[in-house]
Amino acid sequence: MIAVVIGVSGAGKTAIGEALATELGWRFIDADDYHPEANVAKMAAGEPLDDQDRWPWLVRLNLILRGEENAVLACSALKERYRARLAEGVGQVEWIHLKGDFDLIRSRLLQRQHRYMPASLLESQFAALEPPARAITVDVSADVAACVAAIAERLRAR
């Protein structure tokens, strides 16, 4: 099974994804590690990515997922077509949507130092977000341990 932890920047994809992978004994993959340099430069300059920027990144991630049996991927995957591309040809995929209100997530972004994602891009992320129709949805106002426990319980029941 591939568990894809999705949401806007600052929702906790990496923290929750890493903890979930540890809990399940699976490999953790951070999609941020696979962005082309041009994407990183664009985001660092405060410019949101468009579909054309994201497509090669999604293709690369899909190829990685095809080689995995059990893994947790932390990836924004904001739109349905991005999620479809990630899952193409991959066995069982479970979507985990980390949901939080704008003010909470903005406050988290302002407190952290991301290597290239400025808080100024948060509005564009919320604007682009298409919540998944079928997902384990978790309110990220809870702490990481509570989020992971809720996700792991639901994954094990599937």
Amino acid at 138: V
pLDDT number for residue 124: 80
| Weakly modelled stretches of the chain, pLDDT under 50 | none
pLDDT number for residue 40: 85
- Spatial distance between the Cα atoms of 117 and 48, rounded to a whole number of angstroms: 9
pLDDT number for residue 87: 97
pLDDT number for residue 120: 64
pLDDT number for residue 158: 79
- Spatial distance between the Cα atoms of 64 and 17, rounded to a whole number of angstroms: 17
Task: List, for residues 13-45, the tens digit of each pLDDT value.
Answer: 999 999 999 999 999 999 999 999 998 888 888
Task: Kindly give, in sequence order, each residue whose CB lies less than 8 Å from that of residue 140, ignoring residues fewer than 6 positions away.
Answer: 7, 11, 12, 16, 98, 99, 100, 104, 105, 147
pLDDT number for residue 75: 96
